[in-house]
Amino acid sequence: MDYVRKLFDTNTFGTMAMVQAVIPQMRARRSGVVVNVTSSVTLAPMPLAAAYTASKQAIEGFTGSLAHELAAFGVRAKLVEPGYAPTTRFSQNIDFAIEDMIPEAYADFAAPIFAAFASPALTTRETDVAEAVFLAANDTSDRLRYPAGPDAVALAA
């Protein structure tokens, strides 16, 4: 549960706090765009990612509701859903090994999944995410979701 709390503090409550901080100015100006970044784990169920997925799904629902609520003030809300991006070194930014989170009873189940992570067929680059954020921020339509990276685009389809 400590891990789950850290995930939600960062991925969910941190995002909500940032949005809460910027909305009053955007609402007063009657313009602006909130672009929240979630993950392609929200596009299809994936093993060994339940807590992470839950933290990102919460922001999906939050942002979808915001899109409706803020439209009356001329403010848009968008979601960017990046795929697996091993070059970001994301796993090196946490203070524990992901493998240590797997109970012994799940070791045989988890081993081939971790092996597949080592050589994925499709991945997302940082530039894919930057392009999706730019598109989302500049798109004046009511489109909500922007998958980023070939793997996320494939999952979204």
**What amino acid occupies position 30?**
R
CA geometry: angle 17, 11, 154, nearest 5 deg: 130
- Under-50 pLDDT residues of the chain: none
Active-site choice (3, 52, 106, 146): 52
Q: What is the pLDDT of residue 9?
A: 96
Q: Is 52 noted as a catalytic residue in this protein?
A: yes
Tell me the domains of the chain and their CATH numbers.
Answer: 2-156 (3.40.50.720)
Q: What is the pLDDT of residue 90?
A: 61
With 0-12 / 13-18 / 19 or more C-beta atoms within 10 angstroms meaning exposed / middle / buried, residue 119 is exposed
pLDDT digits (tens, 9 = 90+) for 92-131: 666 666 677 788 899 899 999 888 878 888 888 999 999 9
Q: What is the pLDDT of residue 118?
A: 80
